[in-house]
Amino acid sequence: MADSSITRFAPRGPRGMWRALQWSLKGLVVTWCVESSFRLEVYIFVFAAPLGLWLGHGGVEKALLVGVLVLVLATELLNSAIEAVIERYGPEHHELAGRAKDMGSAAVFVLMINAVLTWALILGARGF
């Protein structure tokens, strides 16, 4: 939630930070419940993140191998948020709504390509 002088729910101090954490966890749970793509990406993350930590040589490689997976999850969350806002206004087709949904999906796709390339370049340099 954005900070504002007129809202008393803006995250301030430990109590506000706790509320912000609760909102974030609520967003993760709701996305898990309604988005099969997010669930699949979480399954991939649960398998691939420990593998990346094990295969990475040094902190930078480990951060890259796991970090690109986190970016895919974060982008899927944003894509799901875009889709939810568009669906809020109704199921009728609108060119701009369709374009926004396609662009969000394309962002996830681009980051998936980035993840595959990162893993291939790091592990491929070692002959895996």
Residue 4 in tokens: 């504002």
| Nearest one of 84, 65, 77 to 107, comparing CA atoms | 77
Mean pLDDT of the region 46-53: 97
Q: Contact 68/114 with Cβ under 8 angstroms? A: yes
**Which helix (H) or strand (E) is 24 found in, with range?**
helix 13-34
What is the separation, in whole angstroms, between the first and last Cα of the chain? 44
Active site residue 76: yes
Residue 127 in tokens: 């002959």
Q: Contact 32/71 with Cβ under 8 angstroms? A: no
Summarised one tens digit per residue, pLDDT across range 63-108 is 999 999 999 999 999 999 999 999 888 778 889 989 999 999 999 9
pTM score, whole prediction: 0.84
- Catalytic: which of 35, 61, 76, 95? 76
Multiple choice CATH, 36-124, 3.40.50.2300, 1.10.287.3610, 1.10.3720.10, 1.10.490.20: 1.10.287.3610
Whether the predicted pLDDT of 18 surpasses 60: yes
